[in-house]
A and B are shown apart, each in its own frame.
Chain A
Amino acid sequence: MELYLPIAETTIRVEIMMLLGLGIGFMSGLFGIGGGFLMTPLLILFGVPPPFAIGTQANHMVASSFAGLLSHIRRHSVDFKIGLVMSIGSLVGTMIGIVIFQMLQRTGQLNIVIIISYVLLLTTIGSSMLLESSVSWTRRKKRKKRHQHYFVHNLPFKMRFAESGLYASALLPLFIGGVGGILVTVLGIGGGFLLVPAMIYIIGMRPSVVPGTSLLQLTIASAIATVVHALATQSVDAVLAITLICGGVFGALLGASCTSVVSPVWARTSLALVVLSTAAWLIFDMIIPPEQLYTIIDIRVTPDARFTP
């Protein structure tokens, strides 16, 4: 069945979008990731114009991250104070992100910047995850020191974050939140795989509160990104977003129920392979000459400038 997207003004297959939401939701539930890094390129692959894929994915992320956040709130594993500081950073990052997004859109380099950024991020993260998984398989994992002191810990504006057991500069979570905001707005991804290690190794947060706090920051950042995209570029399609969310909710439930039968090491290895496969596919797509050399962009209706036969 065809589904008409009134904002993107294009038609997609409703069953494909539901399956896409279900598949990404399943991975989200199984691996504990947002899945934005897969969702955005897949939406583009299935014919959703890139700006709408990014704008709508930001809205989809509000739901996926909030669902995860609620379960963390039940377990009292969220540092709200640091999360709110990060969210202020996200607000600034989102504003910077939308300027970058519009600039890239104007110059026609949005797609290539998205793809190169994805490739760099996915290759780095996928490789490190695979490496970590292989260490787990061989049971030769070395214990790392969590909290090391770098120059960043001498920054001003120090605050006490009781839940994380920290006395650190507020500039750190502000900066990390800002990076998250830029990632959400420009790439349409949560960037959890980048922010979570940063929160542990740079800010020095307690690992147990990191996923919940990251999800709090992501919920707020993606909500801001949704509003900013809807205001600045009108590129959030409600019909597509709700279709994806509905599929995603059931997928996440299904994935979460499978976590008890899948070992964490196996899950991490599978995720690393998925991430690396996505990166390989994007690299392949970037190097091989495209089937369509030309991209057509309709700008606006100009009834007065009609060419007549």
Chain B
Amino acid sequence: MSRCLSRSIARWGMALNLCLRACLVFTLLLAPQAKAQEPGPHEPFYLDVSRDSVRLRLLQLKEDRQMVIFGAIEAPQQHLWIEITGENHDVNIRRARAVKNLWIAYDEVHLPGIPSFYLRADGMAGDDSGPGSAAQDQVILPLPWENALRLQIERTQDNPQWVDPFVDALLEEKNATGLYAVHPQAVSFIGNRLFRYDVTLPPSIRPGVYTVNAWTTDEDDRITHFARRTFTISHAGLGQWLWGIAHNDEILYALGLVFISLFLAWIGAQLSHVSNRR
């Protein structure tokens, strides 16, 4: 009797064990599908740039300054933001004033740590309107770092209101040269997850390390994912060589230039002499 009982318990135990194993395998098989359907806050978010370095050549083509920022988000129906910032510069802003009917640089403000370049674009996954809406290329002020700048000015300047027009002028000037811009709805989506943003850097962009930040926000404007990449903009070829020699071997650069000028002038004079004799 006891032997029969122990055998039946063993059989039931084995059956239960097999059931548990089958459930585990089934759960594991279904797991990726469940993950895709319900994204969590810490899931991967892929961001990359089409080129790690932009080379500024002497003879520039527009294509030389074009790049693609691309990647994938895990969850559809999320708002994606992309931001590109350049290195910071100290900036002096001078304002002209009419003195005895002559317009001369009269007032000056020094602002530290101003980004040399700032661009922001956004897009909504699942939005079929695509890039290139009417609002594109319009700058929406204030730019995100502008408030921080104005707070800093309030702390450091005796008369912050006096400085405000200088900051406005800085933003307008940078916007006019394409160095500051906000491109709403400029990020395009392929399906619900893959995104790309085609950007053409302005001709006046300066060499340096540039940072690309991208993040997604949910319906409550909370950041759900964040990623960062960097790329460099540098002189290339002859321009790079010239820049290096002009800043590191100034004497050689200057004497070389004088020599080249004299040589070109000599060629010109020879040509002139030959044509005059004819």
Question: Which A residues lie at the B interface, using CB under 8 A?
Answer: 1-4, 6-7, 9-11, 14, 59-60, 62-64, 66-67, 70-71, 74, 108-109, 111-112, 116, 223, 226-227, 229-231, 234, 236, 238-239, 241-242, 245-246, 248-250, 252-253, 256-257, 286-290, 292-303, 305-309
Contact = CB atoms under 8 A, between A and B. Distances in A.
B173 A4 contact: no
B93 A295 contact: yes
Interface stretch (B3-11, B35-43, B186-194, B200-208): B200-208
Nearest to A289: B103
Contacts of B207: 9
Contacts of A305: 88, 90, 112-113
Contact of A108 (B94, B115, B262): B94
A293 B240 CA distance: 34
A230 B165 CA distance: 35
Nearest to B255: A227
Q: Which of A11, A67, A293, A294 has the most chain B CB atoms closer than 10 A to its own CB?
A: A294
Contact of A295 (B87, B96, B116, B242): B96
Given A2-B61, A112-B105, A296-B173, 6 more contacts: A6-B242, A111-B105, A230-B257, A299-B91, A301-B208, A305-B112
Nearest to A2: B60
B170 interface: yes
B243 interface: yes
A7 B246 contact: yes
Contact of B102 (A60, A112, A253, A307): A112
12 contacts: A7-B242, A9-B206, A63-B268, A66-B269, A74-B273, A111-B105, A230-B246, A230-B250, A234-B246, A256-B272, A302-B90, A306-B88
B269 to A, nearest CB: 4
A70 B88 contact: no
A67 B268 CA distance: 7
Contact of A297 (B88, B92, B255): B92
Interface in B237-268: 238-240, 242-243, 246-247, 250-251, 253-255, 257-258, 260-262, 264-268
Contacts of B238: 6
A286 B89 CA distance: 30
B32 to A, nearest CB: 36
Contacts of A10: 203-204
Contacts of A297: 91-94
Nearest to A236: B257
B89 A301 contact: yes
Interface string B143-183: 01101110010000000000001100110011000000000
Contact of B258 (A67, A223, A257): A223
B73 interface: no
Contacts of B269: 66-67, 70-71
A70 to B, nearest CB: 4
B268 A249 contact: yes
B145 A307 contact: yes
B268 A241 contact: no
Q: Which of A109, A112, A256, A301 has the most chain B CB atoms closer than 10 A to its own CB?
A: A301
B145 to A, nearest CB: 5
B265 A64 contact: yes
B246 A11 contact: no
B275 interface: yes
B34 interface: no
A296 B91 contact: yes
Given A7-B242, A287-B101, A307-B148, A62 B272 contact: no
Q: Top 5 A-B pairs ranked by shortest CB distance? A: A305-B113, A294-B169, A230-B254, A6-B239, A249-B268
Nearest to B244: A6
B58 interface: yes
A63 B58 contact: no
A140 B87 CA distance: 67
Interface in B88-122: 88-96, 98, 101-105, 108, 112-116
Nearest to A65: B265
Contacts of A308: 145, 148
A246 B260 CA distance: 11
A292 B61 CA distance: 29
Contacts of B115: 306-307
Contacts of B268: 63, 67, 248-250, 252-253
Given A108-B94, A252-B272, A302-B88, A66 B261 contact: yes
B196 interface: no
B29 to A, nearest CB: 44
Contacts of B87: 301, 303
A57 to B, nearest CB: 12
A67 B267 CA distance: 8
B264 A6 contact: no
A294 B89 contact: no
Q: Which of A67, A245, A303 has the most chain B CB atoms closer than 10 A to its own CB?
A: A67
Contacts of A9: 204, 206-207
A109 B88 CA distance: 26
Contact of B264 (A230, A239, A249, A295): A249
A17 B61 CA distance: 17
B258 A70 contact: no
A252 B242 CA distance: 27
B265 A66 contact: yes
Given A298-B89, A305-B113, A227 B108 contact: no
